Structure 1
């Protein structure tokens, strides 16, 4: 889980140096739950703790879709959604 990599006390990627025994315990408990619905409920507690402590702005990941006509060549969806139109052409 991303939260375990970046916000658990003492882990190398915890660049904020966040240290919360309450968060660590709640994260351990949530990580041990196999049932999806029960784990979801436990993760709500984990996320609430980290939000209440104002450590991060909670990230979100959205799906990005791209559609182009077969005649459009050179178009690539860039991860930052920065379009490089100078590399695109229409194949007649």
Structure 2
């Protein structure tokens, strides 16, 4: 799926083209028999806030781990208002 950029999230002029591109992509996926897609929005995940590590599971299986507690650096977090604005644009889409 094509990502929605900050232009769409901020409702900038011309950004409605991103919505058209997403709609067209969903149509193509549907025609191809793909029943599940994920629409990405710039800023909808916060991978820089976690520290990745190898998580050793029961029986020795190794899995991917992510921890907020292991992260010692401080990074800016979105405000409640910024999060709500992103969610509103998500709902608009």
TM-score by length of 2: 0.28
Greater Rg by CA: 1
Report which of the two has the higher share of strand.
Answer: 2
TM-score by length of 1: 0.28
